[in-house]
A and B are shown apart, each in its own frame.
Chain A
Amino acid sequence: MPVIPALLTHAGGRPSVEALEARLLAGQTLLADTPEHVLEVVDVLNSYGVVLDAYSKNLIFQAERQFLNPFPVFRFLDGDLSPAKIWRHLNGDRINFEYAEYCMKAMLWHGTGGLDAYLDSEPFAANCTAIIRHKTGRDPLLALLHPLFPNFLPEAIRAAATTHALGQFWRVMSDLFLDLARAEADGTVRNIAEVVAFIKAGLVNAAANPITYGVQLGGERFWVLPPEAGLTFLVDVAVPYVEAVFLRGMPFLGTVSFNAQAQQISPDQAQFAYGALYADPLPTMGAGIPPSLLMQDMYRHLPERLHALYRQRSRGEGDVRVKICMSFQKSMFCVTNAAIDGTFPHALGTAVPAEQAANRAYARAWAERLAVARTDCLDPFGS
């Protein structure tokens, strides 16, 4: 038999925990710095920025205008119920907002950080009671539902709060990624280190942005996430988002199935490793599998420069979504890199031994989680 497979398979690098830790502590980027990587990361984040803009607007629309709607049939239409819009929606000529919902559910389910803690707090329960009392007074269906299933409406409000918070988070990220594309076009960002620094600066700038959420019910305004809860962008939403979507994720039905009874899925949610940084770009492209929806959306808004690069590689248009997924993983490693850089307990250049030890422990914890992720995309030739 001819020995073709060696040419047809490519094994990327697999850096060790120590190597990753050393790079993080030295302030080096995880992703190798090559012109092609810069192009891939900037352009894929550019299309991601456009998609996140749509996701963000829709999530905020859903949380504010479809609040506690038991049958939110038109929630993806952003309030535009014209026949043309409905036709385009039914025809599949649209952004797949289902992916945004998938991310929201991942955040809600994994429930880490300050937002989740607030959703289980007394003040939140009091807000819910007020909202439900007001809502059930006007809505007979909810009035019937609430006494039968008293946890249903509070849980729906938690989902709405997470939806709104994710919408606010993606608003910032969308603008940041589109700014990054402009900065690269201007020549102010030229390499991977500058890409990571740009994202880090954006995250740090927005770190203290308040996360609030109020709804208008019958002319009366109710707070779901009030300003006094003190929720902020970075710690309470961005970090839980990274944990839920980049790292943990959910084992979805795909071309590879998991047997939960055989403990192929860990019973400990914290051990989950199905997030974006762990996703296998190859089998995830089947119809209906959540990340493939994101790749489809990004494909609609792919910059021509990146599209031309993809056309030159392997199957051209045929496997473009696999290539987008691979580039997307590279860009997500940059975002993670920026988030880690921005959240070191102490400055990297510190001379205090205790601070150095704390930084080392922090870098070690991240390196251990990243060592089993798809780090094969980080090499210069891992395209």
Chain B
Amino acid sequence: MLSLLLLIPFLGAFVLLLSPSNPPPGRMRAIAITTLALQLLWSLRVLLAFDPHQGGMQLQDSLSWVPMIGLDYRLGIDGLSLPLVLMNGALTLVSAVCTRDISQRPRIYFALLLLISGAVNGAFLAENLLLFFLFYELELIPLWLLISIWGGTERAYAATKFLIFTAISGVLILGAFLGLALFTGTVDFSLTPIVSERLSMGSQLVLLVSLLIGFGIKIPLVPFHTWLPDAHTQASSPVSVLLAGVLLKLGTYGLLRFCLGLFPQAWALVAPWLAIWAAVSVLYGSLAAIAQRDMKRMVAYSSVGHMGMILLAAAAATPVSLLGAVFQMVSHGLISALLFLLVGIVYRKTGTRDLEVLRGLLNPERGLPFTGTLMILGVMASAGLPGMAGFISEFLVFRGSIGVFPLATLLCMLGSGLTAVYFLLLVNRAYFGRMAITPPSEDPSADARLDIRLSGVALRETLPALGISLAVVGLGLVPAGLGWLSETTATAMAELPALLLAASHGGLG
């Protein structure tokens, strides 16, 4: 059943790449959208088959692939991966829908989009460490191409930086997985925490730190974050949506699944340091966002801040905080996707994202009033206002973590408050006041006389953003659905250290 989540997008990519004639871009887009819609429908079918009361992997598909090196094709899904698979399906579809007027190599563009979506599904579903690594690497090159071919003027720099950082991340992760096999003397790469229990604490720490840095680059956490603002600034809007909404989640997923999941004892040891790292990341991301004048860079830095909260939740590793981590992954995915979409609309209409230049875009007749309205909704959600997705996820993270790491949690709360600061700066500068889309001149009265003729935003351009906005509000008002899906898994993960401790003392059974 889960294999179809890989097969559908991969098959779609092959159909696009191998179609004999040269179909018009519109038809290729239609093929991509149909494939992604099928993928999303199948994800929903998986959701229906999923039993939320089971903590472990379910609906497993298994095939012995290359047993000599321990590479098994084993897929499974639990309450941690299911929301991410659903989000991947939804946001890749949004990315494809948002891609309009693509004249340059549309065949490769849509094929890469499908390839990424399939690879991300594979990474979320893999139950074998090597299989995970394969899929983790598989999305790397397509994304590099998406930035370096369809990006902005500095795309070569940004894409190469992204490639180098993420390649190092891959090497560290592969090194840790191989080290696990080396230290334990087996070639069993299946996903089980019992393996690490045979290792000394020193070996566990070495492997864990390697994984932490590997996934820390992908998330990204300070100081490994510098590739992200560049990549976002140069990537086109649909690619930014994919990057922020889905691909960064590979990092946090890896953090929870492999760092916490494989090395629960070593994790408990380093957790206080991780909490401090999380607080630094949150505060740095937020403060850096305040200093930005490019709207997209500001949203990118806000990602650094918000992803830090997932590290805090993972460090605390209580049932509530881990549930909060799942919520934060979903809500950050939705909110940042929404913000990138809206910034994309502003950029397309005005030709700039510069906060020193843009003014008054809420102007009801000549500006972008509906885009602005959704933007205000998005920044409110990001700042954690009640009734929207950001509130429930941050509340759960803080509620679950404050008992364990009170100081780090308080600092993260401060960072959450700073979200309101930089996003209000953004809204106040770009959306209020007398409309302007050119740099202020030396004569304010001349600026006040400029007539501005932006073209209107058609409803179809706003529909994807509207859909995500509804999801953001929906998740905020009815969070129980996601809680119901992930609660058992989060609780099971939180109990891992105690379980292992009991096992090591012969207390099981």
Q: List residues of chain A with CB under 8 Å of any chain B CB.
A: 1-6, 8-12, 14, 255-256, 280-283, 285-287, 314-315, 318-322, 326, 372, 374, 376, 382
Q: Is the CB of A280 within 8 A of B350?
A: no
Q: A11 vs B451: C-alpha distance in the bound complex, in angstroms?
A: 6
Is B445 on the interface with A (CB-CB < 8 A)? yes
Q: Is the CB of B351 within 8 A of A2?
A: yes
Q: Is the CB of B438 within 8 A of A9?
A: yes
Is B360 on the interface with A (CB-CB < 8 A)? yes
The 8 Å CB contact of B362, one of A255, A318, A376, is A255
The 8 Å CB contact of B438, one of A1, A5, A287, A322, is A5
Is B26 on the interface with A (CB-CB < 8 A)? no
B131-185, CB < 8 A from A:
152-153
B75 vs chain A, min Cβ distance (A): 43
8 pairs of A and B residues whose beta carbons are closest in the complex: A4-B351, A319-B365, A10-B451, A2-B351, A5-B438, A315-B456, A5-B437, A9-B450
Question: If the complex has contacts A3-B351, A5-B437, are A10 and B360 also in contact, measured as CB distance less than 8 A?
Answer: no
Question: If the complex has contacts A11-B450, A315-B366, are A282 and B455 also in contact, measured as CB distance less than 8 A?
Answer: no
Is B3 on the interface with A (CB-CB < 8 A)? no
Question: If the complex has contacts A255-B363, A280-B448, A285-B363, are A10 and B453 also in contact, measured as CB distance less than 8 A?
Answer: yes
Q: Is the CB of A322 within 8 A of B352?
A: no
Question: If the complex has contacts A256-B434, A280-B434, A283-B435, are A318 and B445 also in contact, measured as CB distance less than 8 A?
Answer: no
Question: Could you say which residues of chain B place their CB within 8 Å of the CB of A374?
Answer: 449
Q: Is the CB of B364 within 8 A of A286?
A: yes
Q: Is the CB of A8 within 8 A of B446?
A: no
- Count of CB-CB pairs between chains A and B under 8 Å: 93
Q: A372 vs B360: C-alpha distance in the bound complex, in angstroms?
A: 23
Q: Is the CB of A282 within 8 A of B435?
A: yes
Q: List residues of chain B with CB under 8 Å of any chain A CB.
A: 152-153, 347, 350-354, 357, 360, 362-366, 432-435, 437-438, 445-446, 448-456
Q: Is the CB of A5 within 8 A of B351?
A: yes
Residue among A255, A374, A376, A382 facing the most chain B CB atoms (10 A cut-off): A255
Closest to B347 in A: A1
Q: Is the CB of B350 within 8 A of A8?
A: yes
Question: If the complex has contacts A4-B351, A5-B351, A5-B352, are A283 and B451 also in contact, measured as CB distance less than 8 A?
Answer: no
B170 vs chain A, min Cβ distance (A): 32
Q: Is the CB of A315 within 8 A of B437?
A: no
Q: A286 vs B366: C-alpha distance in the bound complex, in angstroms?
A: 11
Inter-chain pairs besides A8-B453, A282-B451, 20 sampled, C-beta below 8 Å: A1-B353, A1-B354, A5-B438, A9-B438, A10-B450, A10-B451, A11-B446, A11-B450, A255-B362, A255-B363, A255-B432, A282-B363, A283-B434, A285-B363, A285-B364, A315-B455, A326-B451, A372-B445, A376-B449, A382-B451
Q: A127 vs B353: C-alpha distance in the bound complex, in angstroms?
A: 64
Q: Is the CB of A314 within 8 A of B453?
A: yes
A258 vs chain B, min Cβ distance (A): 12
Q: A11 vs B351: C-alpha distance in the bound complex, in angstroms?
A: 18
Q: Is the CB of A322 within 8 A of B350?
A: no
The 8 Å CB contact of A14, one of B353, B366, B446, B452, is B446
Q: A113 vs B256: C-alpha distance in the bound complex, in angstroms?
A: 79
A294 vs chain B, min Cβ distance (A): 15
Q: Is the CB of A1 within 8 A of B352?
A: yes
B319 vs chain A, min Cβ distance (A): 47
Closest to A314 in B: B453
Q: Is the CB of A5 within 8 A of B434?
A: no
26 residue pairs bridging A and B, Cβ less than 8 Å apart: A1-B152, A2-B351, A5-B437, A5-B438, A8-B350, A8-B351, A9-B452, A10-B452, A11-B450, A12-B449, A14-B446, A14-B449, A255-B433, A256-B433, A256-B434, A280-B434, A282-B360, A282-B451, A282-B452, A283-B434, A285-B365, A314-B453, A314-B455, A321-B365, A322-B366, A382-B451
Q: A270 vs B399: C-alpha distance in the bound complex, in angstroms?
A: 60
Question: Could you say which residues of chain B place their CB within 8 Å of the CB of A281?
Answer: 451
Q: A4 vs B354: C-alpha distance in the bound complex, in angstroms?
A: 13
Question: Could you say which residues of chain B place their CB within 8 Å of the CB of A3?
Answer: 351
The 8 Å CB contact of A283, one of B347, B363, B446, is B363
Q: Is the CB of B446 within 8 A of A322?
A: no
Residue among B352, B362, B450 facing the most chain A CB atoms (10 A cut-off): B450
Q: Is the CB of B363 within 8 A of A4?
A: no
Residue among B152, B153, B350 facing the most chain A CB atoms (10 A cut-off): B350
